[in-house]
Structure 1
Amino acid sequence: MSVLTERARRDAPAGAVPATDDPGRPPRWRQALAAVLALVVLVCVALLVWLSAGGRGSDGGGLEHLDEREQVMSLGDQFVKRLGTYSPDMLDDSGQMPDYRDQVREVITPKFAADFDKEVATAEQLVAQGGITRTADVFATAVSSIDDDSARVLVAGAFTDSYEQGTGKKARTVDQEPLPFRFTVDLVMIEGEWLVDDFSPVSSPDEQGTTPQDGTEGSTP
């Protein structure tokens, strides 16, 4: 028994005879329900037409945009690997790493390149003074959002650092524990080419509210 029927019986005065609808005329609630259902059907049809026509939203787009999704995920992968891979053999006589700078600039926007140039000296200093070698391994990438000229990609992996300890015959390579990372990588379309415009670390729920210890947000890993 429906809730509406039970409530009507409780509210009706004792001995009252329920009114009956005109047999030849459908109740008003049925007319209203039919109108609502018709509206829902129209909205669903319009949505299907929009999706089939190539509409895209923050959910990453439909199956017809697989090529673009693959492109931005591949670029996110390349960017993190290039940004997080350097070693002492990249140093020149001035203490800079020109090949490292070039490999990163190839996949970033001019605006981001200006910020990168300000931060890259930190990595070069670590390599020159500490003999640091860093490699980046990417475990997974995923598209967070994408539209005609911008996209956001999630990249997860780990950095592995090593350094030389001692000199001569006593020299040995010391490997550090892998350092996991999770980044959001923002990309934009410039003259038909996807380029990285920014990136930032992603904190897990139990890390939110704490201050990052490595200061990597928007800077060279």
Structure 2
Amino acid sequence: SGGEDTASTVTFRIAEPEVTEAPTPTPAPISAPQIGASAPGYDDGSVYVFDTTAAFSWSVDGEVGGYTVTLYDAQGGVVNTGSVSGNSLDLSGFSLTPGMDYTLEVVAHPASGGEDTASTVTFRIAASEAPTPAPSMPATIDRNSDSASIENMQEQLFALGMFTNENAPERGVFDQRTLEAVLRFQQQYNAQNPGAPLIEIDPTNPDTVIDATTLAVLMSATVPMG
């Protein structure tokens, strides 16, 4: 009809698509290893005593990527350590000293990269009740013994870690350093075997005699791996 035009406006925008970040996966936790003995022996309270050789197996709840196993001696020194993929360990190939305590630590590494878990167990190999001295050794040793026998005993004390470079004795001589090393061995043994202790010597007495039982236990002790 040729009248006046009219108009309206509206404001709008196209919404940007919402960007959603993928959630970071939470690593799946695993339980601490449950360690059990898998060789003949008996539980002596806080220590498991094996008859002749030590062996363990363990289980973990959750997906495990591997294990780190560490063997410690009674003083906390590392005897051996390494990674394993299985869940068992046979220690028959390790040179363990009967009557001495050891601790096995098993650390489990989760496959998802989460937090490690760990457990320990303390054990020993049963000591022989009446070990026999080596044929080349006398039944006892004193200051009148031949130097070869004294030196053989000193070498065994060296191998067992009873000497250091700082307190090394004179080879083949029944000196106070040798007697102090014998006493250290007796004390270490007695700490682990309170029911059948060795008679501890007086290293300041030059007339001291290394008795047959001490000598037999000392010379039959197996050198630990280190």
Q: TM-score, structure 1 length as denominator?
A: 0.27
CA radius of gyration, larger in: 2
Which of the two has greater helix per residue? 1
